[in-house]
Amino acid sequence: MIFKKRLLMVIGILVVMISLFAYGQNRIIVRTKEQLIKRIGATETTDWKKLAEQQLIDMKNRLDSHYMDENHKSSLRVRIEQLQYNIDNDINPLDSSLAKFTTRFMEQAIFLFLPLLILILSADLVSGESSSGTIKLLVARSVPRWKILLSKYLCLIMMEMLVLFFALMISIAIAGIFFGFGGWMVPTATGFKVLAGQLDTSEVINVPQWHYALMVYSLAFYVSLIVGSISFMISVIVKTTAASIGIMMSTLIAGSFLSYFLSDWKLTRYMYMVHLRLTDYMSGHFQPIEGMSMAFSVTVLGVWAVCALVISFFYFTRQDILV
């Protein structure tokens, strides 16, 4: 079956990327620790608080640098405040664990890597039938067209679930080798808010890491649904797979540079591509624009998906099939 092959391919890509990511993360952690230990002048230390405080001082020093632009500075300020919060609340920010890695991997994958994987599975779901001509025998049957399309869409949702499930399982399996299998109960802070370049910690709560990971993966599933629906619509309208993949890829990549215009050009904030980094709202990473909140992003994405589905079904049930 083609989808079995396709899924195997996706799993292969996941294995390679997660291995690379795990190795990279591991290197960074080891090196930061080494550097910090050198800075303090100690030969060996197990007290993470000392290391974290040193990191805090380093960051603050960098803030005074004249070469850094304002944008970077405010984002650094947010990170300093986060670190401070962690130190104050006895949460070790340097320590890496499997749970943390699994979470971080999805945080990094959610805006481009994950959508691209979904694209591999969804782009030719309908257009593939059009380009091979099999759509004729599929539609000329005593089954209404909307049912045929719905079954395709349900199949897509199942595949999205599988992709996320495999992403989770593979990252647990591979990263477990690097970081051990623990860290699921460690508390993590979430609920940060950025207000006018300042970190608002008034609503911060601590949740166990597993809880946090679950939230991240749920958001990732939401993003998969949205990207899947939009790519599904393109696949219904466009008759060749190449065109369908091309359109989706270019919009996804455009998203990364459209964010630059976000503050000046109001229209961009209604594009689905700039809203895919949903997890950043939870971790308190700096958001470049005022007024963009989790609720706003989720709504924009939801509206896109609903419109995409309505158009897909409307178009598919009415179109003349001439291939």
Partner 1 sequence: MNVSKSIKGKEIVKDLSLNLAPREIFGFLGPNGAGKTTTIRMIVGLVKPTRGSIHICGYSLADDFIAAMSNVGCIIENPEMYKYLTGMENLLQYANMDARITMQRISEVVDLVGLKHRIDDKVGIYSLGMKQRLGIAQAILAKPKLLILDEPTSGLDPAGISEFRQLMKKLAYEEGMAIFLSSHLLHEAQQMCDKVAIIKQGVIIKICSVTDMTTDNIIEWEVDDPAKAMHYLKTEWNIEAFQRNPKTIQAAIADRPLDEINKGLIRGGIALTFCCLTKHSLEELFLDLTKGDEIV
- Positions in the binding site for partner 1 (CB under 8 A): 1-2, 5, 132-134, 136-137, 139-144, 318, 320-322
Q: Toward partner 1, which CB reaches closer, 62 or 136?
A: 136
CB 184 to partner 1: min, Å: 41
Q: Toward partner 1, which CB reaches closer, 1 or 205?
A: 1
CB 242 to partner 1: min, Å: 18
Q: Toward partner 1, which CB reaches closer, 27 or 141?
A: 141
Q: Cα angle at 155 between 154 and 159, to 5 degrees? A: 115
Q: Give per-residue burial for 158-193: e unless 16+ CB within 10 Å, then b.
A: ebbeebbebbbebbeebbeebbeeebbebbbbbbbb
Q: Toward partner 1, which CB reaches closer, 89 or 134?
A: 134
CB 320 to partner 1: min, Å: 4
Q: Toward partner 1, which CB reaches closer, 203 or 320?
A: 320
Of the CA atoms within 13 Å of residue 59, those in its CB half-sphere come to 20
Question: What residues contact residue 237 under an 8 Å CB cut-off, 6+ apart?
Answer: 311, 312, 315
Q: Toward partner 1, which CB reaches closer, 165 or 315?
A: 315
CB 318 to partner 1: min, Å: 8
Q: Toward partner 1, which CB reaches closer, 130 or 259?
A: 130
DSSP state of 260: G
Q: Toward partner 1, which CB reaches closer, 137 or 295?
A: 137
CB 126 to partner 1: min, Å: 14
CB 235 to partner 1: min, Å: 17
CB 139 to partner 1: min, Å: 6
Question: What residues contact residue 297 under an 8 Å CB cut-off, 6+ apart?
Answer: 275, 278, 281
Q: Minimal CA–CA distance to 321: which of 122, 134, 73?
A: 134
Q: Minimal CA–CA distance to 12: which of 163, 160, 125?
A: 163
Structure token pair of residue 148: 């045929």
Q: Is the dihedral of CA 93, 98, 101, 102 positive or negative?
A: negative
Strand 198-200, strand 187-190: pairing: unpaired
CB 233 to partner 1: min, Å: 21
Q: Minimal CA–CA distance to 112: which of 178, 23, 2, 17?
A: 17
Please answer whether residues 123 and 248 qualify as being in contact, where contact means their C-beta atoms are separated by less than 8 angstroms: yes
Q: Residue 2, Cβ neighbours under 10 Å: how many? A: 8
